[in-house]
Structure 1
Amino acid sequence: MANVLIQFAHPVLSKSRVHKTLLNQCSNLTNVTINDLYERYPDLYIDIEREQRLLLKHDIIIFQHPFYWYSSPAIVKQWFDLVLEHNWAYGSKGNALVGKKMMSVISCGGSREAYSPEGSNRYTVNQFLAPFDQTATLCKMTYLPPFVIHRTHRLAQTQLDEYGQQYRTMLLALAGERMELPIFQGKDYMNDFIPTLDGQLN
């Protein structure tokens, strides 16, 4: 079994139907730890040693947050700036995270079509997430395709519940090490092949 760490960041969780639904689906899963960054660090004063200990104890690191201005809420950037220290996470002596996996779980107001060269946002979600991808690479980690929920303001609760179930299925597969790296090749989103996992987990 792999240990999964969800680095969750939402400054106003009480107003988010999407992320409350996702968290409800994974709050009781074995081998899955939820680290609510805004709840723990409301003043943005991050306990670096605690966060580094958490990283060492987990095999898969997930950054779950709304897609604010084509990126993340401020505390995620603060976390990267402080926690991923030179010669700990990267650099000639920085090997603490070698071999671990990292991915993003994000919610977007725009449609998938809007995140394309022809769409209003001009670039794909994966292009906007390039800093996360490169951070993982610099730290000698493997960056997995993101799990993305689009058109969040127009989704009915039944649709959100479906996404929540997909998220739970994905986490069970990751923790159970049922996802081999070759299956990710050529996939833009983790969502694209989660339906094929349902039968394996029942």
Structure 2
Amino acid sequence: MKVLVIVAHPNLEQSRVNKTWVNRLSQEENITVHHLYAAYPDWNIDVEKEQQLLLEHDRIVFQFPLYWYSTPALLKQWQDVVLTYGWAYGSEGNKLHGKEFVLAISTGGPASSYQAGGYNHYSMSEITRPLQAMANLTGMHFLPSFIVYGVRNLTDEQLQESAEQLVKHITNPLLRLGR
């Protein structure tokens, strides 16, 4: 199984968590790490190149820090221009049908903040509903997300362990079965 990790962090060098994840993921043979902000500093996205990358992989992962209950802006722009009608969705848009889709998200707040009655009032499942809908519309199978909460408080050991867990999660062939 070939995994494409689309990393969307506007300042990866300053990120403790996402940078560690990228460094660890880059060591894996069947994982392609694609950093959007490095590839497109001018936001001029090469649609054909991006669509080809998607076609070459079986599992697509969006890796990003949660920003204002959403993805960083370039990842939203990427969705708008790459996932086009007639290619990704619509009566003849079936290029992503059957592919698997996973989210890898880091948050500053603790898990208790992301539930009904919590600080943010909504669960992570509710917050990521637009991405679930995107996967559904494009025919991808939305798989369980990998989420690390409270990243500001992680020890170095916990950070390294989260990177190992991320690799195991996104390469798990049984993930689709909920295992």
- Range into which the TM-score falls when normalised by the shorter chain: over 0.9
Specify the alignment match of 2:166 in structure 1: 167
The answer to whether the aligner puts 1:96 opposite 2:95 as a matched pair is yes
Specify the alignment match of 1:66 in structure 2: 65
Taking the aligned partners of 2:33 and 2:121, their CA distance within structure 1 comes to 33
Specify the alignment match of 2:124 in structure 1: 125
Supply the RMSD in Å over aligned alpha carbons. 1.1
Q: Percent identity?
A: 42
Specify the alignment match of 2:76 in structure 1: 77
CA deviations on 1:41-97 (whole Å, 9 max, x unpaired) are 001110000000000110100000100001111000000000001011000000101
Question: What is the one-letter code of the residue matched to 1:53?
Answer: Q
Taking the aligned partners of 1:141 and 1:171, their CA distance within structure 2 comes to 15
The answer to whether the aligner puts 1:47 opposite 2:46 as a matched pair is yes
Normalising to structure 1: TM-score of the pair? 0.86
Q: Which runs of 5+ in 2 are unaligned?
A: none
Q: Which runs of 5+ in 1 are unaligned?
A: 185-202
The answer to whether the aligner puts 1:181 opposite 2:164 as a matched pair is no
Contact 1:25–1:167 (CA<8 Å) still a contact in 2? Answer: no
Normalising to structure 2: TM-score of the pair? 0.97
Contact 2:135–2:142 (CA<8 Å) still a contact in 1? Answer: yes
Matches within 5 A, 1:9-20: 9-20=8-19
Taking the aligned partners of 1:110 and 1:171, their CA distance within structure 2 comes to 23
Contact 2:6–2:34 (CA<8 Å) still a contact in 1? Answer: yes
Specify the alignment match of 1:199 in structure 2: none
Aligned residues: 179
CA deviations on 1:8-29 (whole Å, 9 max, x unpaired) are 0111111111011111211121
Contact 1:3–1:58 (CA<8 Å) still a contact in 2? Answer: yes
